[in-house]
Each structure stands twice: as structure tokens, then as C-alpha cells.
Chains A and B, each alone.
Chain A
Amino acid sequence: MRFGISSRLAAVALAIGSVAGIGAVSPALAQTPGVTATEIKIGGIHPYSGPASAYGTIGKAIGAYFKMVNEQGGINGRKINYLPMDDGYSPPKAVEMARKLVEQDQVALIFNSLGTPSNSAIHKYMNQQKVPQLFVATGASKWNDPKNFPWTMGWQPNYQTEGRIFAAYVLKNVKEPKIGILYQNDDYGKDYLKGFEDGLGAGNAKLVVMKQTYEVTDPTVDSQIVNLKNSGANVFFNITTPKFAAQAIKKAHDIGWKPLHLLNNVSSSVGSVMKPAGVEASKDIITALYQKEYTDSQWKNDKGMQDWVAWMKKYNTEGKLEDGFNVYGYNVAQTLVQVLKQCGSDLSRENIMRQAANLKNFEPALFLPGIKINTGPADFAPTQQMQLARFSGETFVLFGEVLEGR
């Protein structure tokens, strides 16, 4: 027969595959999966590979924080067994990893899974399985939906919240504003835009004289900036990710456009945005912050910052001090530890969610003074306060009060 050998090989291929999988029959169910007298198993999903692998820093920082907690005796006598997974920012891979964590590794919860698409992909699954999908790392507003998705909760201020804060600032402080907006053409950009337009109010829609968009894959945003300048706008709301933010700042400076420049928090990094764009070009840009930054000299003698630096040097030696993701990971891990502490001896998944929705005036060590985490059974948006800051050429200098964008 002609294709004897090829079909034989196909058979071998299938057989090898079946052997590879057989070692993995799921273990017997415990009382609450992942919780024993000495251990709490927690899964994480971050992109350690692929185009968005810069975010992997957050996952590593979380692991380093848990290591410190464990060395200090754990939480109520239980050590955290953290299982970080890599999804490469691909939604199908996120589904695979979430199922691995829930069904095979039997974690108690999945913590800080990153990215709107990846979290959307596992949203339904996690809620069907009734496994907490806690403090997801995305600023989309849809995670605050306790009625339909009682097992999912966000953490950071969502984009709409921030958009409203900026709108309120413009209305209050700028005479005859003519607003130009540049935003990334996806849900992240549109969420910001919606919050901002909601904040302006229907009557003020005409204040926006031009909107420009770009795609993540675009090489530059130069022509958009030129268009915005030509529109005569005197306020520029810059809704871009770090690379494009730096480009936009630089281009605006190069062509001599000097509007009131509002930059979204996503790109508020001194190290990866302001400095590459040029200190002169970045001066006086206003952003909204909720976390302390290492590069900001005013926190030099701050207790929280000093603890953080000590932790970085002892537990997270791979991480860079300038990288704000290490602050993020520290704060979010601290929030989870607070929830687990509040759980006491009842670490059922129901109680974990109940306590996550019962955070009262919790202040992670590296939140700006006065910004607090509050949640409730109908409020799954933990952080809703921010403070505006102006770039001095060196650091962001906070001004005004802590603002709330509910």
C-alpha cells in the first residue's frame, strides 16, 4: 500500500500525544480547592512572552511580594503558593491557563489576570465556575458589575473615572476651551473618551473641536498631532500608551504647539515617557495619579517608599526601581493580602469575595496620601480617587485635592 508508512506515523503521533496527557488526571477535591491548613494556592495570568511582555514585571513583583509575606510567616499561618502563568496576551491562551489553574492546579482564586481581552475571554468561565477573578489588571469599566458577574472585581481606577476627572478640571480651569483629543482606536481609548465626554456633559460636546485616532500598530502619530494643532485646539487630551505618548509630546513640541496638555495615567511614567520625549517638551504636562513614584523625590523619606525600596533590593532584585509596574504589583498584592487577612479562618471562595467587597478605607503603602480603597456589595470598583499632578521637568508635582470620579 502506498501510504502505509505515513498513516503509521500518524498513529504514532496520536499515541505519543495521548501518553503526554495521561499523567494529568485531576486530584480529589478538597473542602475549598487550593486551601489547606498551611497553604493558599493562588493563580496569576500575565504576559511574560510576546509583544506585551513588559507587563510581565507586574506578575514578577507580585510573586516577590508573596515571597516576603511567606518569609514573615504567611497569612494566619498559611503560606501563599503563587502559580504565575504566561498567556502572551493571547485570549485563547488565557482561557487555557485559567482552566489549568482552576481545574488542574485547583487554585482558590485567580489574581490580577492582565489585559482586557484576556479577562473578557475568561469572564464567563470564572463566574460559571464560581472562582474569584480578583483585582484584574485592566482599567475597563465592565469589571464593576457585581449583579451579573459576582466573581469578578477590578482594582485600579477605571478609564472612565479618570476621563471624568480630567473633564471636570478643564471645565473649571480653562476659559473658552477648544479641546483636541488623540486616542487609541480600541476599547481602552474609547472608555477614556466616554468618561471625558460624560464629564463634559451633553451641552459641552461642541467644546471638542477635533478627535484623532491611531492604531497600536501605527509607526507614529505625527500626522495626527499636526492635524490637532491645525484645528486650533488649546487643550490636548492625550489618550495614548507610553510609546505613542512620548511621540506625541515630542511632535507637539517640535511643531511649536503649546496647548494645556492632559496626559492619561497609563503613560504617566517619568522614565519611559517624559524623559524619552525630552524634559523641555514634557514640562507642564498634567496627568492624574494614584500611586507614588520612585522617581518623585518628595517620597524620599516616606515610610512606605523606604519599605518598598528595601523590598525591591531584597526580594525583587531583577526589577528596576524606575519601573512603575513594580509599585503597581506591590500595591495590588498588598490589597489581596488584606482581603485574605480579613477572611480569617474562613477561606471559602464565597467569603473571599465577601471580604473583597468589604474593604473600608484601605490604603496600600504606595498610594498617594488620602487615596483609599473602598468596596461594597454593589461597588466592585476599588480605587476611584486620583490627584492631578504637573510635570516640573524633574517629577510630577501634585496639586489640588484628591478628586473622585464616581
Chain B
Amino acid sequence: MNGLRGRGLVIVAIAVACVLPFLLSNFRVFQFTQVYIYAIALLGLNILTGYNGQISLGHGAFFAIGAYAAAIMMDQWQIGYGWTIPVAAILCFVAGFLFGLPALRLEGLYLALATFSLALAVPQILKYFEHWTGGSQGIVLSKPAVPFGLPLNADQYLYYLALAVLLALFWLAVNLLQARVGRAIVSIRDNPIAARAMGINTALYKSLTFGVSAAYTGVAGALSALAVAYVAPDSFSIVLSLNLLIGVVIGGLASIQGAIFGAFFIQFVPNWAQDISKAAPGVIFGVFLIAVIYFAPTGIAGGVKRLAALWSRRRRSGSTT
């Protein structure tokens, strides 16, 4: 019953998401595209941080690698944009897996610092390979043309592309995390020694989780390059990595739908903050952040879940009396 209704709601939500581009201005469509892109990256980071317990302050780096992979392929080698998404995924999976190996020896805050250095290093490394990356001037791209003569404009098409990738990756993540693999990933977070005792190859699982997480974020980066049609090292500063972590925590750790909440937060709250005050938008953003953490300590997803439980309990008790 519960599950049936849940499925019904998902279908309704997808239907709403599908008609949105025809109701909204192109600018809003672009913003929602950004939200979906962030949601993909946040889901990737959540798999690592929320489910596996490895804190990363460096996912902006994988976002950048994905974005630059797509940009360089399109700019230098004239490869169709469709190919850039899987290639970015594979590239970032490998990069994440390799980075995950040394990261095995680091736990908690030490891992956070190691990944932080990654986020700091990547924008500079991008400048070093100026021939490919265009240095700090970056690479200007063209938005992908709408294929098959679809009656859409470029923004609407990118919206549907991002939505399709989002749904596919969410479906994949749900299946991954609710299966045996997912239980192994969570058990490593909860008690690594017990997990090992139960025969889980913790080293392999941790590295693979890192890889999968990086791949998700890389896909988001590639989509972002397509949507923004420009990449530059300044797009992937440390602020991006911090925003991703903020999004995961605010949305809700170890929560699939939390990625969507978190994405809405990091996309729209800074805009509201600057509408309230140009003098100190950072302070307003900080106030929002503290407010959410205070009222929903388990993130927005946790808060909504609690409200829903409260509501259904009250309704049940109401019906019995």
C-alpha cells in the first residue's frame, strides 16, 4: 500500500518534471537543469560520504575533470556531446578509484584534508595544460543542437537530457544501495571491523565506492559543461567542493532524495541570500545554513520524514478516537 502510493507519487513527480519546461521561462528551465546536475553530483558524494562514511572535500575536482573531459573532447576533437557523458563517467571512475587506493589509509578528517588538497590542486593543474584546457581563459563551447527535429529549444533539450540522466542514475543508485553491495557499503561505515569479519573486502569496496562516487560527479560535470557552454578553472574553485558537501549534509546524509533537496538548496538559497542583502550575502547564506541544521539536524530529507511520520501518527490516532 505504502509502496504503491510511493510509486504513484514518483510517477506524478516525473510527469510534473516533464511538463515544467513548457510552463516556465527558458531562464527557469536553465536553473532547473542546474538543479538536476547538482543533484547528480550530490548523489555521487552522498554514496561516498553518507553511505560509506568517507568525507570528501574534493569532489569539485571530479566535477572539474568531468567538465573538462567533455569540453576538450568537443573543442579539440569535435566528438559528439553524447559520447562525452559516458567517457567522463569512465574517466572519473578510474580517477576516483585510483585516488581511493591511497585514501584507504586515511580516515575521517585526514581523508577530508587529503581530498581538500585535490580540490585545491586541480584548478592549477588545469592551467598547466594550457594547450588543451585554454589556461585560465577556459574553453568556450557551443550548446548542443536539438536532435531529430524535436520541437524544443536548446534549453528545453538540455533540461530533458539532464532529467533523463538524473533518473537513470537515481534508479541505478537505488538498486545499488538497496542490494547486497549497498549493505556492504553501509556496514563498512557503521563498523569496519565487523564488516571485515563478515567477509567483506573493505579495501576493494571503499575504493570502488570512491570510483562510483567520482563517476557520478564527473557525469554532473560533463552535463554542466554542456549547459553552461563554458569551462574555466574559476568555475571549479574550492567553493564548489564546499557547496557540494553542504548540499549533501543539508539535503540529508545517506538519503537518496536528500540529493534533490540539497541541490535545490545550493542552487536557490545563495540567490535568495543576495536578494536579501548585497552587503553580506555570505552571512545570510550562513544564517539559512544554521537554521536548517538547527531545525532539521538530519538534513531536509530527515526533517520531511519526521514531519510525515508525525502527520500520519496524528491521523491514525485521530481515526481511532
Contact = CB atoms under 8 A, between A and B. Distances in A.
Contacts of B285: 49
B28 A24 contact: yes
Contact of A13 (B14, B257, B273): B257
B183 interface: no
A91 B25 contact: no
B295 to A, nearest CB: 16
B17 A90 contact: no
Contacts, number: 199
Contacts of B308: 5, 8-9
Interface stretch (A113-121, A227-235, A297-305): A113-121
Interface in A88-127: 88-93, 95-96, 99-100, 103-104, 115-118, 120-121, 123-125
Interface stretch (A15-23, A33-41, A150-158): A15-23
Give the interface residue-count category, chain A: 35 or more
B247 to A, nearest CB: 13
Nearest to B229: A124
Contact of B228 (A21, A92, A187): A92
Contacts of A118: 234
Contact of B5 (A8, A49, A59, A121): A8
A394 interface: no
Contact of A18 (B17, B27, B268): B17
Contacts of A120: 137-138, 140, 230, 232
Given A103-B26, A117-B136, A49 B264 contact: no
Contacts of B136: 116-117, 186-188
Nearest to A27: B25
Nearest to B139: A120
A72 interface: no
A21 B4 contact: no
A318 B280 CA distance: 12
Nearest to B228: A92
Contact of A14 (B17, B120, B178, B281): B17
B199 interface: no
A1 B10 CA distance: 14
Interface of A is mostly: helix
A187 B135 contact: yes
A139 B120 CA distance: 26
Interface string A209-241: 000000101000000000000000000000000
A11 B13 contact: yes
Interface in B258-293: 260-261, 264, 268, 270, 273-274, 278-282, 285
Contacts of A8: 5-6, 9-10, 308
Nearest to B278: A48
A60 interface: yes
Interface in A155-203: 185-188, 190
Interface string B12-49: 11101100100111111011101100000000000000
Nearest to A215: B124
A32 B281 CA distance: 32
B283 to A, nearest CB: 9
A3 B178 contact: yes
A199 B30 CA distance: 45
B224 interface: yes
Given A50-B239, A92-B224, A117 B232 contact: yes
Given A3-B256, A4-B5, A121-B230, 7 more contacts: A2-B3, A4-B2, A17-B32, A103-B27, A117-B137, A117-B138, A187-B136
The 3 closest A-B pairs by CB, nearest first: A1-B3, A11-B9, A4-B6
Interface of A: 1-18, 20-22, 24-26, 48-51, 53, 56, 59-60, 84-86, 88-93, 95-96, 99-100, 103-104, 115-118, 120-121, 123-125, 185-188, 190, 215, 217, 318
